[in-house]
């Protein structure tokens, strides 16, 4: 039997490959870039290495933790796990701090709000009343609306939205509150805060995302008879009404009867579009894939003096361009910080130099002791995530396509989650079900 072919070696494609390998089905994984990992990978600039953007995982990433365990990753060594603790700085000093205690969920959330420092009772009561309402309604709403509309409907004042809901929405959906889908936001809140206190924990990578997942995943796939082809772009998929035949790359053709297409939606549309003439049942899917919008994320890595250290592994900011600052000295990289600006905004038109100048100025206003950074590297991922806008769920495709043997995987498929690592892995795993059934049926004969 020909090996299932997975096109795209991002986290979704790797998840599909691990899941199939784990079921005893070796795969061929094809990735166009020199290294796998897609939007979550290690990059090198001369002798300095960091991720293509700062990532934060949470305890509710159950599939991520499961696949890491399958690949034999030592979680203690690779991940720093802590109870959720947000501290926000503004006007040169600490403004608010919320730490969730180790209590059964969702009591831990209520206690965290009540005990929060720097928040008025009126703000705390608004947060508790909205959280109660969400709990009672099972974190569901009938018709989607924007996060801003939902919060206004629940009586949240604009100061409360700015202080807490907005940073939470942008951090999780990477979409501004006036555009972001309330349905997706509620799903994230439900999974992060209501099941177990451990789900709200923050998980930070001690090394980089490739050491955490990508490298162990590739090793696992290869050690179990699979192939990973890097620097190999798939240019065409050959399918006709008689079935799936092969994929065509720059320098070879690979026979296939099962394909998982694990590229971003725009690339999937390019590969599927030429097939629609013979296979009109794909037309609607191609149309949906073209409708996705995208949101950017900027990460500015800053190398300060080796003794520089923030009071917490990461802190938030009020009213500045920089939204979050992560201190990598907490994971063994003295003086290295990552400043994050998520989603589009008035900064979108600014030059790199203007952004660097503004962000470094804002940081030194709050943490004068840091001094000036010795070096900085700015990574602007223009299509960091699909935009989790109102009603985006209506265009998100299922894993199964109208063509038997052809599945889709990627954070953009219908997981109910925003564009996240966990969403990508959930999708990768779900995309394998048809192949596993097919393989099991074939091996019965």
Ligand X SMILES: Cc1cc2nc3c(=O)[nH]c(=O)nc-3n(C[C@H](O)[C@H](O)[C@H](O)COP(=O)(O)OP(=O)(O)OC[C@H]3O[C@@H](n4cnc5c(N)ncnc54)[C@H](O)[C@@H]3O)c2cc1C
Shortest distance, position 25 Cβ to ligand X, whole Å? 19
> What's the residue count for the chain?
445
* Dihedral sign computed on CA atoms, order 252, 8, 426, 102: positive
Which letter does DSSP use for residue 433 in this model?
Answer: H
Q: Across the strands, what pairs with 413? A: none
Shortest distance, position 299 Cβ to ligand X, whole Å? 6
Shortest distance, position 398 Cβ to ligand X, whole Å? 15
Q: Where are the alpha helices (DSSP H) in 106-230?
A: 107-115, 121-136, 147-153, 158-160, 166-173, 182-193, 209, 215-223
Q: How buried is 378 (Cβ within 10 angstroms: 0-12 exposed, 13-18 middle, 19+ buried)? A: middle
Tell me the chain's radius of gyration from C-alpha atoms. 22
**Is the CB of 205 or the CB of 370 nearer to ligand X?**
205
Shortest distance, position 40 Cβ to ligand X, whole Å? 4
**Could you list the residues that contact ligand X (CB under 6 A)?**
7-13, 30-33, 38-40, 53, 55-56, 233-234, 262-264, 267, 297, 299, 381, 384-385, 410-411, 419-422, 424
**Is the CB of 119 or the CB of 189 nearer to ligand X?**
189
The span from the CA of 236 to the CA of 224, in Å, is 27
Shortest distance, position 410 Cβ to ligand X, whole Å? 4
Shortest distance, position 423 Cβ to ligand X, whole Å? 6
**Is the CB of 166 or the CB of 411 nearer to ligand X?**
411
Shortest distance, position 213 Cβ to ligand X, whole Å? 10
Q: Which helix (H) or strand (E) holds 210?
A: none
**Is the CB of 195 or the CB of 383 nearer to ligand X?**
383
The span from the CA of 20 to the CA of 277, in Å, is 31
The span from the CA of 279 to the CA of 110, in Å, is 53
Residue holding tokens 């609306």?
145
Phi, psi of 424 (to 5 degrees): -60, -45
**Is the CB of 264 or the CB of 405 nearer to ligand X?**
264
**Is the CB of 130 or the CB of 271 nearer to ligand X?**
271
**Is the CB of 119 or the CB of 322 nearer to ligand X?**
322
């Amino acid at each position: 039997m020909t090996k299932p072919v997975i096109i795209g070696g991002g986290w979704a494609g790797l998840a599909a490959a691990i899941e199939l390998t784990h079921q005893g089905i070796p795969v061929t994984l094809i990735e166009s870039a020199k290294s796998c990992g897609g939007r979550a990978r290690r990059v090198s600039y001369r002798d300095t290495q960091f991720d293509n953007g700062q990532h934060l995982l949470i305890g509710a990433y159950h599939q991520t933790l499961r696949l890491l365990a399958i690949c034999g990753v030592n979680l203690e060594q690779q991940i720093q796990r802590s109870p959720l603790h947000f501290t926000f700085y503004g006007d040169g000093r600490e403004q608010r701090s919320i730490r969730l205690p180790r209590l059964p969920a969702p009591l831990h959330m209520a206690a965290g709000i009540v005990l929060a420092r720097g928040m008025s009772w009126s703000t705390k009561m608004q947060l508790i009343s909205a959280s109660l309402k969400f709990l009672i309604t099972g974190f569901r709403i009938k018709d989607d609306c924007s996060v801003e509309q939902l919060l206004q409907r629940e009586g949240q004042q604009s100061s409360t939205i700015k202080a807490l809901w907005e940073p939470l929405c942008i951090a999780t959906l990477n979409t501004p509150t006036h555009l972001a889908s309330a349905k997706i936001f509620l799903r994230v809140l439900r999974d992060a805060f209501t099941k177990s206190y451990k789900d709200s924990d923050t998980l930070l990578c001690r090394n980089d995302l490739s050491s955490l997942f990508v490298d162990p995943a590739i090793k696992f796939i290869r050690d179990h008879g699979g192939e990973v082809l890097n620097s190999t772009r798939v240019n065409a998929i050959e399918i006709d009404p008689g079935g799936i035949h092969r994929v065509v790359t720059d320098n070879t053709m690979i026979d296939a009867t099962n394909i998982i297409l694990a590229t971003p939606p725009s690339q999937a549309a390019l590969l599927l579009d030429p097939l629609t003439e013979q296979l009109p049942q794909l037309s609607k899917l191609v149309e949906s894939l073209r409708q996705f919008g995208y949101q950017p994320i900027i990460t500015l890595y800053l190398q300060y003096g080796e003794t520089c250290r923030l009071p917490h592994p990461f802190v938030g900011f009020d009213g500045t361009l920089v939204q979050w600052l992560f201190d990598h000295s907490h994971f063994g990289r003295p003086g290295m910080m990552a400043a994050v600006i998520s989603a589009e905004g008035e900064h979108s038109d600014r030059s790199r130099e203007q952004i660097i100048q503004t962000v470094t100025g804002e940081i030194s206003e709050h943490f004068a002791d840091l001094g000036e950074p010795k070096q900085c590297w700015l990574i602007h991922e223009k299509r960091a995530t699909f935009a989790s806008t109102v009603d985006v769920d209506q265009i998100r495709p299922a894993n199964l396509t109208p063509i038997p043997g052809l599945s889709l995987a990627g954070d953009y498929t219908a997981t109910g989650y925003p564009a996240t690592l966990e969403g990508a892995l959930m999708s990768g795993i779900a995309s394998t079900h048809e192949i596993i059934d097919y393989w099991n049926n074939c091996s019965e004969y």
